[in-house]
């Protein structure tokens, strides 16, 4: 039956089934391409900046200029050299001061920002007279405690743990006031806390107590040493059986230039920041508490004015200089002698401090004085300004009886005069012009200017009785300290060497040791505001005679079973204390001090009737013994005997030394076989927990891994893709239903 034309419908080929399917396919293809383009664009916009945020951003900092003074900086041994940069280590110091002893706990915190597990290495300063007692490492929830071992054995233990994928730490004393810490297998994006506990004595001078905590490091220069001295000069100054090479090896001075290059040519991502909390307990009323280096907040803990809590008054302070704290006791309550004791296993350890009497009138002595000023590159900026200001002030305090000269040095020494000249008005004017023209640049070649000062002829008009005094103004940023000490020890003639430590982070060990071997004294000047006060006091002090040839006399019964350090007591200047550490079989109740001044013999009877018990005295005694043993190497002591005694003392008292190191190794959990037999499920659970806790240790994240941000982005993109696919599928179904109707 035929339909009528009225009901007849003409079929449009564009609406045929074939063409509808083609249009759907083209639409789906276009949507898929759009989604793919969207994913690629999202990847480029989100992943690339994130990928660079933790590692590649380091490349923006590497090209920054080098700095000579900086806080502790950590270097990860990344396989890609372009990603190597020094990272900040934040410092939190908690210090408790009881009398003349300080107990410090320092926490060093840093993060591994890289995507793989790496070994980290950093250097940090500590007080040169401190005794490091404890090392603890915390990585995540894992805590590792270190122990003292002989240096080679400690290295072997560390390397084995490193190869096994364990977290481990190796703390070494590179120099007496500079330490290096290596930590292996630090997981990616993990936080590490290194805790150090140490003990150090408090210094005293001119009626003031002082605590100095180094927070920054000055890059050390490895000098060329004696290469430019004549053979005759070397024979006159140094004995043929030199111990310098051996001493350099002890403290690994041969690695100084390598360490310097490794850290110095990389830029720092950010400065390290310290946090300092101090509890000060003097036992005697305090008249003032000041800090010449930082702004502090002081809070009294009682009404007796003998206990205080001290903190930095800023939250964010860069670790670019040492922290200095001074306090002064009320004049009426200052004792002549203080004694702190500690008894361990029947042995008595005593820290004896004698405060010399103050002179109302002091005879001013004639001096033949030579000023040596460091003008090397490490003195750039404020250090140079402080050094020149200190020298100008010192020149003004010379009197008509004095003769003087100035030696400036960097790579080469520069002399004001060929010999010392009298301090006339004309010569002082020449000196001022010479000082004004000084600039900081070049290396730190100390040996030649020091030898020139030791051998320089006096002015013919100067008295033969005039004492040769050498005032050395420097930051001490050298790596050959022992070579210079050997020069001082072997030099001929009656002289005294005084050191003036300049700058934010002077080498305190060199300053003190150079003064010790030069039978002089030292002072630190950290900023411009201190120059006037400290340099004036210092020049006044060295213009007065000192007590020399000091001997400690004990009861004959006590003397048979006593070890006293230092064995050779340095000259004692009025206003400075004499501190002696003793170990004896019996308590020390009295002692006698004898010595000589310029005009007469000197004698002092010491009665110890109220010794105070204090922890840490044995550690300070051990630290003094190790220091004295190492000093004996300069004068030719047997190397093997010294080494064995240092190792024995270090291990017995658990303090670090040049021959020992702290090593801390992660302990794996061991499963008992009996437990495994009785309860296999618990064993499996324990194993699972162990593997999970050490997953970051045993399996390093590959370099191709992606972070959580990218994972989130990809997941979101996939979700969008699924939802759009569902939308397209539903749209097709609705389209078909519409056509069918």
Instruction: Give the tens place of pLDDT for each residue, 456-487.
Output: 988 888 887 788 899 998 887 776 777 888 88
Please say whether the beta carbons of 195 and 186 come within 8 A: no
Question: What Cα–Cα distance (Å) separates residue 549 from each residue in 56, 356, 485, 517, 523?
Answer: 62, 15, 20, 14, 22
Using CA atoms, how far apart are residues 129 and 131, in angstroms rounded to an integer? 7
pLDDT at 694 over 60: no
Which stretch of 51-55, 262-266, 372-376 has the lowest confidence by average pLDDT? 51-55
Write out the H or E segment, with its range, that includes residue 489: helix 481-490
Q: Give the mean model confidence (pLDDT) for residues 354-360.
A: 63
- Would you state the pLDDT for residue 727? 65
- Would you state the pLDDT for residue 65? 40
3-state SS, one letter per residue, for 177-193: CEEEEEEEEECCCCEEE
Using CA atoms, how far apart are residues 310 and 277, in angstroms rounded to an integer? 6
- Would you state the pLDDT for residue 537? 82
Which stretch of 116-130, 386-400, 662-676 has the lowest confidence by average pLDDT? 662-676
Per the DSSP assignment, residues forming a β-bridge with 351 are 340, 581
Please say whether the beta carbons of 249 and 286 come within 8 A: no
Higher pLDDT residue, 681 or 403? 403
Please say whether the beta carbons of 308 and 194 come within 8 A: no
Any residues with CB less than 8 A from the CB of 211 and at least 6 apart, and which? 95, 97, 102, 202, 203, 278, 324, 325, 326
Any residues with CB less than 8 A from the CB of 560 and at least 6 apart, and which? none
Please say whether the beta carbons of 278 and 95 come within 8 A: yes
Which of 161, 88, 76 has its CA nearest to residue 124? 88
Tally of CB atoms within 10 A around 715: 10
Please say whether the beta carbons of 369 and 593 come within 8 A: no
The alpha-carbon radius of gyration of the chain (Å, integer) is 35
Provide the pLDDT confidence category of residue 405 given band limits of 50, 70 and 90.
very high
Residue with tokens 């006293």: 564
Tally of CB atoms within 10 A around 111: 17
- Would you state the pLDDT for residue 660? 93
Any residues with CB less than 8 A from the CB of 318 and at least 6 apart, and which? 71, 271, 272, 273
Residue with tokens 């789906």: 28
Using CA atoms, how far apart are residues 611 and 605, in angstroms rounded to an integer? 16
Largest distance between two CA atoms of the chain:
151
Using CA atoms, how far apart are residues 483 and 435, in angstroms rounded to an integer? 28
pLDDT at 659 over 80: yes
Listing DSSP states for 645-660 in one string gives HHHHHHHHHT---TTE
Which stretch of 124-128, 195-199, 328-332, 477-481 has the lowest confidence by average pLDDT? 328-332
Query: How buried is 11 (Cβ within 10 angstroms: 0-12 exposed, 13-18 middle, 19+ buried)?
Result: exposed
Using CA atoms, how far apart are residues 272 and 486, in angstroms rounded to an integer? 36
Provide the pLDDT confidence category of residue 376 given band limits of 50, 70 and 90.
confident
Listing DSSP states for 313-355 in one string gives S-S---S-S-EEEEEEE-GGG--SEEEEEEEETTEEEEEEEE-
């Amino acid at each position: 039956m035929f339909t009528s034309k009225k009901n007849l419908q003409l079929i449009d080929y564009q609406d045929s089934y074939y063409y509808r399917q083609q249009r759907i396919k083209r639409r789906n293809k276009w949507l898929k391409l759009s989604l793919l383009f969207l994913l690629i664009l999202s990847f480029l916009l989100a992943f690339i900046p994130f990928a660079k945020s933790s590692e590649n951003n380091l490349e923006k900092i590497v090209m920054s200029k080098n700095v000579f003074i900086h806080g502790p900086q950590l270097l990860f041994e990344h396989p890609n050299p372009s990603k190597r940069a020094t990272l900040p280590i934040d410092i939190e110091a908690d210090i408790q001061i009881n009398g003349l002893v300080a107990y410090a706990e320092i926490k060093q915190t840093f993060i591994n920002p890289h995507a793989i597990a790496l070994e980290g290495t950093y250097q940090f300063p500590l007080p040169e007279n401190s005794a490091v007692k404890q090392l603890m490492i915390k990585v995540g929830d894992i805590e590792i405690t270190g122990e003292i071992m002989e240096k080679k054995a400690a290295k072997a233990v560390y390397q084995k743990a490193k190869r096994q994928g364990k977290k481990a730490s190796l703390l070494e004393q590179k120099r007496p006031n500079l330490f290096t810490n290596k930590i292996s297998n630090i997981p990616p994006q993990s936080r590490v806390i290194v805790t150090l506990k140490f003990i150090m004595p408090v210094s005293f001078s001119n009626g003031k107590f002082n605590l100095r905590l180094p927070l920054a490091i000055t890059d050390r220069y490895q000098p060329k040493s004696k290469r430019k001295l004549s053979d005759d000069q070397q024979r006159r100054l140094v004995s043929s059986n030199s111990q310098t090479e051996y001493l350099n090896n002890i403290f690994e001075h041969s690695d100084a230039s390598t360490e310097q290059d490794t850290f110095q040519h990389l830029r720092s991502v950010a400065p390290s920041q310290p946090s300092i909390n101090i509890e000060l307990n003097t036992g005697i009323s305090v008249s003032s508490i000041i800090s010449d280096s930082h702004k502090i907040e002081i809070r009294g803990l009682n009404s007796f004015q003998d206990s205080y809590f001290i903190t930095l008054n800023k939250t964010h302070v860069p670790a670019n200089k040492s922290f200095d704290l001074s306090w002064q006791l009320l004049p009426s309550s200052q004792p002549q002698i203080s004694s702190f004791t500690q008894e361990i296993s029947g042995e008595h350890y005593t820290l004896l401090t004698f405060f010399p009497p103050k002179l109302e009138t002091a005879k001013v002595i004639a001096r033949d004085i030579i000023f040596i000023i460091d003008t090397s590159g490490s003195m750039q900026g404020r250090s140079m300004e402080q050094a020149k200001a200190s020298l100008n002030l010192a020149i003004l305090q010379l009197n008509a009886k004095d003769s003087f000269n100035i030696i400036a040095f960097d790579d080469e020494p520069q002399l004001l005069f060929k010999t010392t000249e009298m301090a006339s008005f004309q010569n002082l004017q020449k000196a001022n012009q010479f000082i004004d023209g000084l600039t900081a640049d070049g290396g730190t070649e100390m040996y030649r200017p020091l030898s020139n000062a030791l051998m320089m002829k006096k002015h013919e008009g100067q008295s033969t009785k005039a004492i040769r005094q050498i005032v050395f103004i420097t930051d001490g940023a050298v790596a050959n300290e022992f070579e210079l000490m050997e020069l001082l020890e072997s030099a001929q003639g009656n002289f005294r060497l005084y050191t003036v430590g300049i700058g934010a982070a002077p080498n305190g060990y060199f300053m003190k040791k150079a003064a010790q071997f030069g039978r002089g004294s030292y002072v630190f000047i950290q900023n411009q505001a201190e120059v006037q006060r400290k340099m004036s006091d210092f020049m006044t002090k060295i213009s007065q005679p000192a007590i020399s040839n000091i001997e400690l006399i004990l009861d004959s019964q006590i003397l048979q079973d006593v070890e006293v350090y230092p064995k050779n007591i340095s000259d004692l200047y009025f206003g400075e204390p004499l501190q002696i550490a003793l170990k004896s079989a019996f308590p020390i109740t009295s002692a006698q001090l004898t010595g000589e001044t310029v005009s007469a013999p000197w004698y002092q009877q010491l009665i110890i009737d109220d010794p105070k018990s204090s922890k840490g005295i044995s550690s300070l005694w051990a630290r003094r013994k190790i220091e004295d043993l190492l000093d004996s190497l300069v004068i030719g002591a047997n190397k093997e005997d010294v080494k064995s005694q240092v190792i024995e003392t270090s291990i017995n008292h658990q303090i670090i030394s040049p021959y020992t190191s702290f090593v801390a190794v992660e302990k794996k959990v061991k499963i008992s076989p009996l437990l495994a037999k009785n309860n296999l499920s618990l064993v499996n659970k324990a194993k699972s927990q162990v593997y999970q806790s050490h997953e970051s240790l045993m399996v390093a994240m590959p370099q191709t891994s992606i972070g959580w941000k990218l994972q989130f982005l990809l997941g979101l993109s996939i979700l969008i893709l699924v939802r759009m696919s569902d939308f397209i599928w539903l749209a097709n179904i609705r389209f078909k239903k519409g056509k069918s109707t």
